[in-house]
Structure 1
Amino acid sequence: MADWRRIGTIFVAVLVLASFAGAAMAEFAPKVAYGAYGNAAAILINGRSAVKFSASNGNLSPLQRAKITNDRIAALVAAKFDPRGLVVKGDNYSGRIYAGDQLVCIATSRDAKLNGCTPVSLANTWLSNIRNLLLMPPVVLNPGEITVPLGENRQVDVGGAATGQIYAKIDDENVAGVVAEPAGRCLTISAKNLGKALVEVTCEGEKATLVVYVKKYAGKLPSVAVGQVTGNPCPASLVCYCARQTVSEAAMLEPGSRLEVGSADCPNQALGQGKNRQIKVDVKMVGPDYIPVKARATAEIRNVVLPREDPEQLFYSNDPESITRYQPLFAGRLDISKPTRVLYHHQNAMARRVHLIVELVNPNDTTARVRVYRGIAPPSTDTIVIGHVAGCAFMKDCANDVSVVEVIPPQSRVVLVSDMLGKNDTSSGILQVNQLEGENAYVRITAAEPMVDMVSRGTIARASSGRNLQLSDQIYPRPVKNVDAEYVVGQRWAFIAIGKHALDDSSQQKKLYGNYGVTYNINVKISNPTGESKKISFVFDPTAGPASGVFTIDGKFALVKYAQPPKEITLATMTLGPGETRNCLVTTVPLAGSNYPATLIVKS
């Protein structure tokens, strides 16, 4: 009664206590009351409004109508009538609720007009309220089962027909603590240790059980994950890749959980040297018996300046060139601060598909940081063209110093290339990697059976022990050749062999015929002692057979997609004035899939 006075209302309450057969409330009796609220009157069941009369009906005031309806509902409760048997009948003038042949109440056209609906519609609303409130269980927990993160608190609402004081008791206080908050009619659950506990909630002698699980999150993320790229500038695509990788690498996953990286808000703009960019990345962390985590992570990508690097060794993966079975193709160990060139070129000779994987493997207990330059081509049946595409990408990234720093968590691997090869498809690429920090990581190349190792480019996955890797012997030291050449106008042309003098492997047991993947820095001194201006030509001669080439001549790219002997391809021309001498730097790399040695000719 005091609650109704506080809101300016006078209620005459009639509480009906009855054993309610056919409902889910066992021995609990619903509470029924009626009262006036201003000019209207209402029926309350279990303290909640079920019916509101806003108008008189004939000589009956709203309050009188409410009393009659209250008495009828009380009689139904006493008679153990099942509320699911209530029905509505009516027309345009009234909607009537019946319990069998017994009238419960009437929704008049005036009531309906004040509620903005038809009488039958209003009667159906009242019926639904009456039925649901009479069938309401005495104690309702929302939720009835809850998972609480370890070390955190969660609240559970306590509802239902019972409105008295709440009591709560937990069967395992080592797992969680529970406090009943009577003012807010809720429970506060505090997670202490991993496990399961049951909370018995009592109100007015009625009970309900709450199931509590205490679990860990599947993983955590730092507020901002920082990644590094280089480049003048760094392309937008690599910045976006780095953002996704940075979030993946920074994720702290629980054992057995996994990370799913979704979309990233990547602007289509290159990132200049010394600049930073923050990118939002959608991620999800899931795992068995862990709490899933969905988050919008922040990656800050920094374009840093790192020293330019010449490779000190070459990992050469071309034996076998033709893949005839699923097998490991190459494995090589990296050394700290020892830049390593990686060339791979393999063709699928099987009738079945092959999954070619190039990855960095960190089997150690410490994090490894590796700087990576990429020259990757999509699979192709044209072995020469694919080598040319890969070589172009690699040399252009090297010219602009474009690289990314991959961070490899302990006992993990990062996939750099993931190509699915059909019959006669070739996978080809040139990479350069330099381990900056951590214990020795490995480069591994595998011809895997499809659907066995479900990885793609950028995947971070569990690594096997480094002891299981059989290291390749196709490792060649000092894969850089500095060549000096001279051409004097009017004298013999300069013929400069590319790929002719094969490198020896580290044990001097193998030779790298063609010097594929080796950098040639050719310094050409050109003199014009005549009294006339002379046109100088740089010409590519595919000496050993069909070949492609990628050159920079004084910093400008010159590309040969395909050359067939005896045809020669002019790369560039320049004019020397009378008595002029000029030094030119030509850089090239013999490309996989082509036939080397080839010859660079300088002539007039």
Structure 2
Amino acid sequence: MFSKIAGVLLCVGLVVTGLARTVSASGSSIYINGEQVLTFRAASNGVSPELLASKAASKLSRSSGKVVVRPMGSDYVVKVGPQTVLTVTRAEASARGISRRTLAYRWAGELQRSLIEAKRSAGPAQSEIRLAVGDSTTLTLPTTVRVTSSDDRFLSIRKSGSSYSATALRPGSGFVTINNGSSVRQVNFVCRMTAAKLPDSYEAEVTGRPAISGTVRGAIEAALKQQTKFSPLAKLEWTADNVPALGAGLTVTVPVKVNITAPDTVARTGTVSVKVSNITLVPQDEDVLWYCNDPERVEKPGNLFGASLALGSSARFLYHHINDSAAPLILRSQIVNDSDKPAKIAITPGDSAPDFDPVGAGMRAGDLFMRAIRTASAEIVVLPPHSTCPISFRRLAPQAVISGLAAIRLIEGPERIIVRADAFPPYEVIAKWKPALSSSTPWREVGAQPLNEWDKSSYTLSDHIYPDPIRSEAWEYKVGGRMGVFRLGQKSIERQDNAGRLDGNFGVTVNLETTLSNPTEETVNVEIAFETSAGYSGGLFFIDDVYLMTPKLLPKKQARIAIYKLAPGAVKKFRITTIPLSGSSYPATLFARVAGSDATAGVIDISRSK
């Protein structure tokens, strides 16, 4: 599952300090880049050898320049540049049976050699061991050398076959001493908590015919974020080079490069594998459209929408609101499973970040939704008993708008789940939830959460339930006849309680089975144009398999979405699929006509079909 993963932040031989030197003291010895340089053996003026070594190492780490020996009274001192770093006393020299002058020059020579060596290379002596607690690494050293840890509470060293193994036991630091009999070196170690604990395997489920690449990628993201145990304030970065669309009933294992960091921890860096399975579901259009737009302008906190979804059913959920209060609001739409059974749910997302442009917000939400819903592409989310997950979670400034279009299908579990939308007064969002505020798929960020009092608060079942939000129509145009005209959103669908209709048919899919024919004796080009007849709008279209997004258009402006060359007697059949978008103005108009006429002047051409 986890290949070439670096539980060790940086292994032995990989962390070097370049031309810098590391000076440390251990006991009464001084080390430069882990190599023992000199040792104090005698106290001086009541100062122990260990403290002398510590003070000398501190001075040496801050000094630079030429190493020289100078007499000072009856003693000798060793200087590095202007800084006196060592004082050779009679007691120190006597402990070796040599003169103070001889010892001073010997120490100066050792310092000079070590400092020159530090400038020449950044070899193993400059290495560092950094391990996450519970992790181990192999020290590639012969077992003929003696290897010890300065503190076995933090780092344990054990012989392992023909090498040594180092294991981090708890957070702490120290050094590993390597003694081959003729020389002694030290390697610093740091043991920290891990930035993340990874599972033995990652698994995710999707559905669709096929599940598009974006859905598979989203399921991978959700698996990484929900199945990894992160340290506080952890940051996940991940990349996957090739995430394919996935056919029904198929499984793919995707290698994913991850880098997980957190303050005062050991990073997790490497490649994990995520197994994604496309579960086979019987194709099913959404049974109803839930229209969460009453009120469109939200003036105060409160419940905005409520509906229940029965087992085996599917709903299309449209939400579109403007914050019409004087202060920010937090708007949250969520799925609630208040039963004793886990709920298995398919979600096709389409959520826009807050904007001050209703048309742009509606187009972004619709774009995400239309690309996926065409093949019933959806992520599979499992809600444990008595839990909830967000569909949308946004902070809206005054006069900002939020827009969304999602499909929700209850596959397995309880007899029903609840979907609700609420406006809350502004509050300080906890760290775990902050990424959800900027995500169009907030359930990936926070996963399922236990129900709290807010989730259980009262709500009102909405009247805005509209059955059968997928409509099919036939449209024909003959060259030489009257211009073809089709009004999108003109035929309003009726509410479930027969007490109202949905003006504009916002969120309703229209499949327009189109036939163009040329009964004349001349070859002509026939175009299909979209006009914003009712006001500032945009449009999204599939022309058979070709996907198109118009720019945002001012009232009465047109965009060509298709053009076909028709020979005499030719007939062209194709399907136009579109959805009237929240924030735009509908009804809008489609025209079929011969290209090059006066009516086509000034039309924006976004067509890709010929």
Whether these two folds match at TM > 0.5 is yes
Partner letter of residue 444 of structure 1? R
- CA distance in 1 between counterparts of 2:27 and 2:550 reads 84
What does residue 420 of structure 2 align with? 444
Letter in 2 for 1:385: G
Who is 2:323 aligned against? 348
How far did 1:596 drift?
1.3
Give yes or no for the alignment of 1:571 onto 2:593: no
- State which of 487, 490, 493 in structure 2 corresponds to 1:500: 490
**Alpha carbons of 1:97 and 1:340: their partners in 2 closer, same or farther (altered >3 Å)?**
farther
Q: Contact 2:504 / 2:580 at 8 angstroms: preserved in 1?
A: yes
Partner of 1:527: 517
Gaps spanning 5+ residues in structure 2: where?
1-25, 30-40, 54-73, 79-86, 112-132, 135-150, 154-168, 170-193, 437-441, 595-610
Aligned to 1:56: none
Deviations 1:212-234 (A, max 9, x none): xxxxx999864112012457887
* SS in structure 1 of the partner of residue 370 of structure 2: helix
1:372–1:403 Cα contact (<8 Å) kept: yes
What pairs up with 1:70-149 in 2 under 5 angstroms?
Answer: 90-92=75-77, 95-96=88-89, 108=99, 110=102
Report 1:196-595 matches (<5 A).
Answer: 222-229=199-206, 239-250=216-227, 262-273=235-246, 274=250, 275-279=252-256, 298=272, 300-302=274-276, 304=278, 306-307=280-281, 308-399=283-374, 402-439=377-414, 440-454=416-430, 455=433, 456=436, 457=442, 458-460=445-447, 461-464=449-452, 468-470=457-459, 471-595=461-585
Shift of 1:408: 2.9
Identify unmatched segments of 5+ residues in structure 1: 1-47, 52-65, 120-146, 149-156, 160-188, 190-216, 287-291
Q: Which has the higher contact order (CA 8 A, sep 6+)?
A: 2
Structure 1 residues 243 and 411: alpha-carbon distance in aligned structure 2, compared to 1, 3 A threshold: farther
TM-aligned CA deviation for residue 239 of structure 1:
4.6
1:551-595, Cα deviation, whole Å (9 max, x unpaired) = 222222343333444444332221222222332211110111112
| Gap change, CA 1:411 and 1:282, over 3 Å in 2 | farther
Question: 1:185 maps to what in 2?
Answer: none
Q: Distance in 1 between matches of 2:473 and 2:241?
A: 40
Range with bigger deviation, 240-249 or 509-518: 240-249
Distance 1:387 1:284 in 2: 36
Q: Distance in 2 between matches of 1:522 and 1:230?
A: 26
Q: Is the 8 A contact 2:216 2:245 kept in 1?
A: no
Contact 1:281 / 1:299 at 8 angstroms: preserved in 2?
Answer: no
CA contact (8 A) 1:522 1:586 kept: yes
Code of the residue aligned with 2:457 in structure 1: it is N
Q: TM-score, normalised by structure 2?
A: 0.60
Provide the secondary structure at the position in 2 that maps to 1:91: strand
Q: Supply the distance in 1 between the matched residues of 2:562 and 2:212 (Cα, whole angstroms).
A: 27
Query: 1:359: how far off?
Result: 2.8
Between stretches 577-586 and 274-283, larger displacement belongs to 274-283
1:127-148 C-alpha deviation (Å, 9 max, x unpaired): xxxxxxxxxxxxxxxxxxxx99
1:240 Cα offset (Å): 4.9
Give how far 1:398 is off.
Answer: 2.9
Displacement after TM superposition at 1:351 (Å): 2.8
Residues 97 and 224 of structure 1, relative CA distance in 2, 3 Å threshold = farther
The residue aligned with 2:597 is none
Aligned residues: 437
Following TM superposition, by how much is the alpha carbon of 1:531 offset from its aligned partner in structure 2, in angstroms?
A: 2.8
Which deviations, in whole Å up to 9, do the C-alpha atoms of 1:394-444 show, x marking residues without a partner?
Answer: 212334654322233443333333322222211112111222222233333
Would the aligned equivalents of 1:536 and 1:603 in 2 still touch at CA under 8 Å?
yes
Cα displacement (A) at 1:353: 1.8
Residue 587 (structure 2) pairs with residue 597 (structure 1): yes
Report % sequence identity.
25
2:205 aligned partner, one-letter code: Q
Q: Distance in 2 between matches of 1:282 and 1:467?
A: 38
Instruction: Give the 3 Å change call, closer, same or farther, for CA 411–486 of structure 1 in structure 2.
Output: same
Match of 2:11 in 1: none
